[in-house]
Amino acid sequence: MNRGHLLARQLGGSGTDRRNLVPLYRNANSPVMSGAEQRIADAIAAGNTVYYSSIPIYENSTNPIPSGVTMTAYTSTGVQIVIQTILNKP
């Protein structure tokens, strides 16, 4: 199990703030989530303003491990960068 960042470190997210961390299986965290984060970082590096959300999906209130994370990112001009639900499976 990895510490998955809702806002990646490369995008300014904290690696110690528990509000930014969710437990993710290795396959969900990398390469899938990290690939999406890289596309967002590339758009920012190209000078774009990016609107981003990353929302964990929980099946019920008793399981602290999300079943997935939905990532959405658009540029300020409306260009889609990422719309993806990453399933959190072993």
Q: What is the mean pLDDT of residues 42-54?
A: 98
| pLDDT at residue number 50 | 98
For 1, 18, 28, 33, 36, the CA distances from 25, given in Å and listed in that order, are 5, 17, 6, 11, 16
pTM recorded for the entire structure: 0.90
Residue 19 is classified by DSSP as G
Contact 67, 56 (CB under 8 A): no
83: Cβ contacts below 8 Å, ≥ 6 apart: 71, 72, 73
Mean pLDDT of the chain: 96
Q: What is the mean pLDDT of residues 20-30?
A: 94
Phi/psi at 14 (nearest 5 deg)? -85, 140
CATH class of the domain whose range is 2-87? alpha beta
Q: What is the mean pLDDT of residues 54-59?
A: 97
| pLDDT at residue number 25 | 95
| pLDDT at residue number 76 | 97
The 3-state DSSP class for residue 4 equals strand
